[in-house]
Amino acid sequence: MSNGMLKIAIQKSGRLYEDSVKLLKDCGIGVRNGGNKLKIEAENFPMEVFFLRDDDIPQYVEDGVADIGIVGENVLYESEKRVSLIEKLGFGKCRLSLAVPRNSAIQSASDLNRCKIATSYPNLVKNFLKKNNIEAEIHVISGSVEIAPGIGLSDAIADLVSSGSTLMTNGLREMEVILHSEAVLIKNKNLSAGKLEFVDKLLFRIKAVMKARGTKYVLLNAPNNRLQDIIGLLPGMKSPTVMPLAEPGWSSVHSVLNENEFWDIIEKLKDYGAQGILVIPIEKMVV
Ligand code: PRT
Ligand code: ZN
């Protein structure tokens, strides 16, 4: 039954599906699931892809039905399954937060003693309460947690938040973050040496893709008399590439920039007289 292929479990549909498939695709691995199948063979990589509900993924990976999986940290830690976290993947970001009705007297987690908290994450909430010496009652509901206070089911909720608009439209105020979460790659703890080799190969590609996602390639023309100032702003992989332009007194400068410092640096480059600034996405980055 078991063959040499690496078996990966990803979400069948939902918030993590598209980004999971995109990540594999950017790693050169084709995942086509036209027929809404449970399992397909990937293209260009010895891999089988299982499409599952996210809640089932930690269990499948613990049991070795799947070798690896992509799942939110919230689901992973709530499941309390014994698998290894290999890599954070930078998408599906959210937080599990405590929230109360806007006008509630409850101001902080410590005010939750003897209160009722509705959540779909009883294990995470229980551990949080224990760690903070809070005694509250947990009421488990599987969906629409945000309506619980409004219908008198609970005093507070613990639910996933990303933009915060669900809390806002339900008249709730975010009080405290229990867990920051993003999609992660997990693996079974007893993989064979052969499987681990494939995991390493995949991980190498994932890291190259993720590194590239946070960076841009920048080309610009610099007046030679400001070249040192401009180079000083640009880190580059080793150091920026500088080439003379056909026009005397000018050089072409190429470099790699982090997305988050990008706008600041572009403004300063302009101040230093840089012209013709081109910014290009990087597809893969192997350092
Ligand atoms: O069918 P299946 O069981 O696989 O899917 P699911 O319905 O359980 O999960 P799904 O697809 O909704 O989410 C999958 C994963 O995405 C979650 O486990 C998180 O790791 C991650 N994620 C990221 C989120 C959110 N952001 C998110 N905003 N999961 C849920 N939400 C919900 C939240 O529950 C709340 O209802 O969105 C609402 C809040 O969003 P804002 O933007 O209004 O704050
Ligand atoms: Zn789910």
- HEC per residue, 5-57: CEEEEEECCCCCHHHHHHHHHHCCCECCCCCCCCEEECECCCEEEEEECHHHH
Show the tokens assigned to 114: 């003897």
Phi and psi angles of residue 2, each rounded to the nearest 5 degrees, phi first = -75, 130
The overall longest dimension of the chain from CA atoms, in Å, is: 77
Mean pLDDT value across residues 56-66 = 98
Burial class (CB in 10 A: 0-12, 13-18, 19+), 154: buried
Does 221 contact ligand 1 (Cβ within 6 A)?
Answer: no
Does 70 contact ligand 1 (Cβ within 6 A)?
Answer: no
DSSP state of 90: S
User: In ligand 1, which atom is closest to the CA atom of 73?
Assistant: 20
Please give the C-alpha separations between residue 39 and each of 2, 58, 168, in angstroms, as whole numbers. Answer: 14, 17, 39
78 and 119 in contact (C-beta within 8 Å)?
Answer: no
Secondary structure class of 194 (helix, strand, coil)? helix
For residue 216, the CA-to-ligand 2 centroid distance in Å is 35
Residues 6+ apart with CB under 8 A from 143: 120
Phi and psi angles of residue 211, each rounded to the nearest 5 degrees, phi first = -65, -40
CB atoms within 10 A of CB 150: 12
Lowest mean pLDDT segment, chosen from 77-86, 166-175, 194-203, 252-261? 252-261
Does 164 contact ligand 1 (Cβ within 6 A)?
Answer: yes
Q: What is the pLDDT of residue 2?
A: 52
Q: Using pLDDT thresholds of 50, 70 and 90, give the confidence band for residue 1.
A: very low
Residues 6+ apart with CB under 8 A from 183: 16, 19, 20, 70, 71, 72, 73, 88, 89, 90, 91, 92
Show the tokens assigned to 37: 């199948």
Mean pLDDT value across residues 169-182 = 98
Does 92 contact ligand 1 (Cβ within 6 A)?
Answer: yes
The pick from 50, 124, 160 for probing ligand 1's pocket by mutation, whose C-beta has the most ligand atoms within 8 angstroms, reads 160
Q: Which ligand is nearest to the CA of 52?
A: 1
pLDDT digits (tens, 9 = 90+) for 205-264: 999 999 999 899 999 999 999 999 999 999 777 789 999 999 999 999 999 998 888 889
For residue 3, the CA-to-ligand 2 centroid distance in Å is 29
The whole model's pTM is what? 0.92
Does 15 contact ligand 1 (Cβ within 6 A)?
Answer: yes
The fraction of the chain above a pLDDT of 90, given in percent, is 91
Q: What is the average pLDDT value for the chain, to the nearest integer?
A: 95
Does 162 contact ligand 1 (Cβ within 6 A)?
Answer: yes
> In terms of DSSP bridges, do strands 84-88 and 94-101 run parallel, antiparallel, or are they unpaired?
unpaired
Show the tokens assigned to 88: 């954070």
From CA 16, how far away is CA 281, in angstroms rounded? 23
Q: Which ligand is nearest to the CA of 76?
A: 1
pLDDT digits (tens, 9 = 90+) for 8-45: 999 999 999 999 999 999 999 999 877 788 999 999 99
For residue 153, the CA-to-ligand 2 centroid distance in Å is 22
From CA 174, how far away is CA 156, in angstroms rounded? 10
Residue 274 C-alpha from the chain's centroid: 35
